[in-house]
A and B are shown apart, each in its own frame.
Chain A
Amino acid sequence: MADDDDDIVLSELDDEELVLQMHDDLYDGLKEEIEEGTNILLARGWEPYRVLTEALVGGMTIVGKDFRDGILFVPEVLLAANAMKAGMAILKPLLAETGAPTIGKMVIGTVKGDIHDIGQNLVTMMMEGAGFEVLNIGINNPVESYFEALDDFKPDILGMSALLTTTMPYMKVVIDAMVEQGIRDDYIILVGGAPLNEEFGKAIGADGYCRDAAVAVEMAKEMMARKHNRAAAG
């Protein structure tokens, strides 16, 4: 990248400049630059968790905000997410080694009959970035798959996603099955997806409707804090 005088050499930037540049690069979906920036910060002795939160999550938060405000659209968010994913791939094994803090655990999956997972993949990444351990069980999940994941992974939160008005009612099928099994109140249930709204979330008995990945993270943090407070008081 040296044939243009205006090109920025990431390794020549100081830490603060580099983090801001990585925010710009994430915004522009520049995967290779994010990988390079991540490696540079690590080589300078940054803790993996600090790289994750300050450089990657910080940048993705700006992307999420501009998506919410209608400045960025789905293709740009996807490119940014792919860039962040590349940085996360470098950090994940290091985070496991260094014992980064875990706020809580989440199982997330798209409901039966629905194959759209862009939103839930984004939520997965942002939740991981915020310190949650996430099991993403993919697309087209019947009640049994959710139950199996809850049983195996023992999460605090169940997240369900749907893109279609024809599939979103299945979320209620899952919640009703949880009520029937007497396990509904063992989990925080968050739902999301383009055709949903808060009213729908309430009607099916979810704890929260998340209009985007950033809201999902904030809501999950808040509900985990309440859960801990209740446990402490209790």
Chain B
Amino acid sequence: MTLTDDRLTREGLAADGTGRVLVLACGALAREILAFTRQLDHIDLHCLPAILHNHPERIEPAVREAVARAEGYERIFLAYADCGTGGGLERAARELGLEMLPGPHCYAFFEGTEGFLARAEDEFTAFYLTDFLARQFDAFVWKPLGLDRHPELRDSYFGHYAKLVYQAQTDDPDLTAIAEDCARRLGLAFERRFTGYGDLGDAMKRWIAASD
């Protein structure tokens, strides 16, 4: 299956079923996780549609269903943070015996959850984009908020925000230009912050080591 951002947003990514360890992840993290696991045949990646984030109440049931269907794996890791589930995913992970990612959402773990939360009080007027969200800005932000049809609503949504922080997982000038354009469209100042994979990278290394 070709890995396109549109497909990761709408459909996710099916596991190829050849591994003995499964990483169950948000589609928004597929490329970052594959950067660690692409050469590792014993680890499968199954991504749920990233757009579930626009309806956080649907994430926990989708995760439970995916885990119930994931037969034959020795171990499953859950590459989600809380993601707006209000502790629901953490409860599910505990019940299902799965290790998950730390913190409230990907903006936090890419920057490093501890530091992100420490800065949160000074940065609550920041709107964040990751690499994936910069590429899928229209699907996650512009269209669901109706700004394609009613641009006059922009300030109702973003009037209190001051800046757009682009958390760059990779060095990609084209993507930086896209993110900067997103900031312009929202009427916000732009800041690029290179984060790399942050806590996700640490978790992936730990999970890979635990899978050997």
Contacts and interface: CB of A to CB of B under 8 A. Distances in A.
Contacts of B58: none
Interface string A176-206: 0000000000000000001111001000000
A118 B157 contact: yes
Contacts of A79: 146, 150, 153
Nearest to A110: B160
B86 A165 contact: yes
Chain B contact surface mostly: loop
A86 to B, nearest CB: 13
Interface in B64-84: 82, 84
Contacts of B156: 78, 82, 118
B121 interface: yes
Nearest to B108: A166
B160 A74 contact: no
B96 to A, nearest CB: 21
Contacts of B157: 118
Contact of B146 (A75, A113, A167, A196): A75
Contacts of B206: none
A140 interface: yes
B124 A113 contact: yes
B153 A115 contact: no
Contacts of A35: none
B196 interface: no
A78 B124 contact: no
Contact of A195 (B84, B125, B144): B84
B124 A165 contact: no
Pairs A-B, 4 closest by C-beta atoms: A75-B146, A115-B160, A113-B124, A195-B86
Contact of A200 (B86, B124, B150): B86
Given A115-B125, A166-B120, A75 B104 contact: no
Which of B117, B124, B161 has its CB near the most chain A CB atoms (within 10 A)? B124
A139 interface: yes
B145 interface: yes
A133 interface: no
A78 B160 CA distance: 16
A207 B88 CA distance: 23
Contacts of A128: none
A156 interface: no
B86 A75 contact: no
Contacts of A196: 86
A140 B146 contact: no
A76 B160 contact: no
Given A115-B125, A118-B157, A165 B104 contact: yes
A164 B117 CA distance: 13
A200 B145 CA distance: 27
B22 to A, nearest CB: 27
A195 B53 CA distance: 13
17 contacts: A74-B146, A78-B153, A79-B146, A79-B150, A115-B160, A139-B160, A140-B124, A165-B82, A166-B104, A166-B117, A166-B120, A167-B124, A194-B84, A195-B86, A196-B86, A197-B86, A200-B86
Contacts of A117: 160
B78 to A, nearest CB: 17
Interface in B92-117: 104, 117
A197 to B, nearest CB: 7
A230 to B, nearest CB: 33
Which of B104, B149, B160 has its CB near the most chain A CB atoms (within 10 A)? B160
Nearest to B149: A75
Interface in B21-61: 56
Given A165-B84, A195-B84, A115 B161 contact: yes
